[in-house]
Structures are given as structure tokens and as C-alpha cells.
Amino acid sequence: MKINCRQASRLISQGLDQPLSQWDHVRLRMHLWMCGNCRQFSHQLQLMRQSARKAGRGE
């Protein structure tokens, strides 16, 4: 059931591209709930996406 940060980082990235399976989704949620580092990591990937999309729109 439990996943480590490395596995979580892969799921976080995957989740940006396609919906995760229910099982992976729950495992990731549980991990993020406990792990500040991975919450931060996830937030940073979102920031990167937003800035990339803005750059792509010429903003």
C-alpha cells in the first residue's frame, strides 16, 4: 500500500498527463498527506506547467 517519495514523484508526474488509476490515486493522496517534500515537489511541477503554458501563449 505505502509508496516512497521516488514512486510518488513518478505518480505526480503521470497524474499531470492522464488520470491515475483509483488505486494509485489513493496511494498518492495518502503519501502527499504525510510528506511535505512531495507536496512541495507537486506544487513546483504545477508552477512549471503554468509558466510553460503561459510562455507558449506568448504571455
Q: Minimal distance in Å, beta carbon 20 to another protein?
A: 11
Out of 26, 29, 34, 54, which residue is the one contacting another protein (CB under 8 A)?
Answer: 54
6 near another protein, rule: CB under 8 A: yes
55 near another protein, rule: CB under 8 A: yes
The DSSP call for residue 7 is H
Q: Under a CB-based contact definition with an 8 Å cutoff, are residues 37 and 5 in contact?
A: yes
Q: Under a CB-based contact definition with an 8 Å cutoff, are residues 40 and 9 in contact?
A: no
Secondary structure element (H or E) that encloses residue 12, with its range: helix 5-15
The residues of the shown chain that bind another protein, judged by CB under 8 A, are 4-7, 9-10, 13-14, 16-18, 36-38, 40-41, 43-45, 47-59
